[in-house]
Amino acid sequence: MKDNLLPSSLEKLLELILQAVSELVDFELAVILKLSDSNHLVVQKAVGPLAGGDLLTYKIDLRQRKDIARILNINEPYLFDENEEHIDTYEEILELPEGHSCMVSPLYIKDQPIGLLTLDHSVCGQFSPMIVDIIGTLSRLIAIIIDQNESGQYLDAERKSLTRERNLLLKNNQSEFRNLIGSSPTWNIVLEQIRTVAESDLPVLIHGETGTGKEQAAKVIHSLSSRRDAPFITLNCSALNAGLAESELFGHEQGAFTSANSRRRGRFELADGGTLFLDEIADLPAEIQPKILRTLQEGTFERVGGEKTLSCNVRVIAASNKNLRTEVSENRFREDLYYRLGVFPVNLPPLRDRREDIVPLAEHFLSGAGCGSSAILGTEALEEMLRYPWPGNIRELQNVMRRAALLAGDGVINVHHLGLTGNLSDTSIVQGESPAKEKKDGFPTLQEVETSHIRKALTASGGKIYGSDGAAVLLGLKPSTLQSRMNKLGISKNSGS
């Protein structure tokens, strides 16, 4: 983002234009009017000591103001002579002294008028012929800027409309949702919320326990939005002191503090045109919260140690595992910032509240999209997973699947591979285990449990590995996988008994 980037809203754009004009021309009132139809000019922006009041809603009917209509048609700036009899542009709402300085300049795109720029000053003779020429040149530039801005707004609206229509047609199992696995009723509500809010530029506040997938949800919102080709920038707000947080968010100038050896762009600059994801927003230092609020409201900020106000066009998605309402009530988080961020809240349910999604998620993590294992989940393991409360949610499930796949190799994942309960002594696979093989506290190791289980299968199959009645079938393994495990554990075919 460049320092002189124009703000996205038309009002701020027009204000910047008139501020630039004020550096060249001394006026008391400068107004940009837009041609709303063939007969009416409507005030879009007015600045200067005389601006305000009824002027902000003023409309000129060109059928009644033939003088202005005539000037609008000639496409040249016009300076009223102080001795010239004419009706003041804003006669109905402003009283200016007789002979005051008054100039109007049509705004044209090609051969079509789009509006009018007017300049007034209570002192006569304020605008010289050189000023008239300058205003003529500036008017052409102003017209181009306004037209490009409005064209951009039209294209942006069309892009958002197409994005919204596309999102509504997307099904939950399509690639856009590949990292948001699940089809439970609770999860379908979340996906519908994401699909709805994605096409807008509204701030989104995602709430959910640790490990529920808040960042993944934010990435999908970004990928489904009209900003998907622009940057997605993240910042974890936890463990940041006020000084570091301000530099990370807004950047700093060279020499702003001891270690600031060069200018550094902050996250808002890096995310310009795209999305900024603020994780653990509840931990944002209190001193920084009003600065974030200002940037959200006005789209402007200053780098640490800088004096120049910069502009940005950023969609903010925030996330927290804390209840921000509670944080607000206990004065740890600003109420106005909470309402600004929480325009569209999305609540991610814990995994225990969407148990129908546990198996699809586990299979996803076992597949090539996860750890690339060909292991399969045994019946008892599935039952154990459905009973388990999953305090670490999806992140815990992913880690459990990675560990279980490693322990099971290409075989069947059983309960003892999961390591969820921490107590396998009452399961059938260890019943009859010789006390001599147990640890002093009566708890066997995973290797001991696996060895015992394979030996029992060999005993039941009469020492056979292959065939429909072989140990490999009983264990749900490929014969080659079983032999590999037997070799590793030092088990012979005849050691089943």
Q: What is the pLDDT of residues 14-31, one digit of tens each?
A: 777 788 788 888 899 999
Quick check: 423 pLDDT over 70? no
pLDDT at position 171: 56
Please indicate whether residue 369 or residue 478 has the higher confidence score (pLDDT): 478
* Cβ proximity of 77 and 116 under 8 Å: no
Distance CA 170, CA 181 (A): 14
Please indicate whether residue 327 or residue 471 has the higher confidence score (pLDDT): 327
Whole-model pTM: value is 0.58
pLDDT at position 164: 59
pLDDT at position 161: 61
What are the b/e assignments for 277-312, b being 16+ CB within 10 Å? Answer: bbbbbbbbeeebbebbbebbeebebbbbebeeebbb
| Mean pLDDT for the stretch of residues 167-183 | 69
* Cβ proximity of 311 and 5 under 8 Å: yes
| Mean pLDDT for the stretch of residues 22-42 | 89
Q: Tens digits of per-residue pLDDT, 71-90? A: 998 888 999 887 787 888 88
pLDDT at position 157: 60
Quick check: 178 pLDDT over 70? yes
Which residues, other chains included, contact 160 with Cβ-Cβ below 8 Å and sequence gap of 6+? 199, 200, 226
Please indicate whether residue 96 or residue 204 has the higher confidence score (pLDDT): 204
Using CA atoms, how far residue 362 sits from 41, 182, 426, 478, in Å, is 63, 11, 25, 21
Quick check: 430 pLDDT over 50? no
* Cβ proximity of 38 and 112 under 8 Å: no
| Mean pLDDT for the stretch of residues 322-344 | 93
Among 270, 30, 16, CA closest to 127:
30
Which residues, other chains included, contact 428 with Cβ-Cβ below 8 Å and sequence gap of 6+? none
pLDDT at position 176: 73
Quick check: 52 pLDDT over 70? yes
**Structure tokens belonging to residue 88:** 């003041």
What are the backbone dihedrals phi and psi of residue 41, each rounded to the nearest 5 degrees, phi first?
-105, 130
Q: Is the four-CA dihedral 487, 489, 495, 497 of positive or negative sign?
A: negative
| Mean pLDDT for the stretch of residues 234-255 | 91
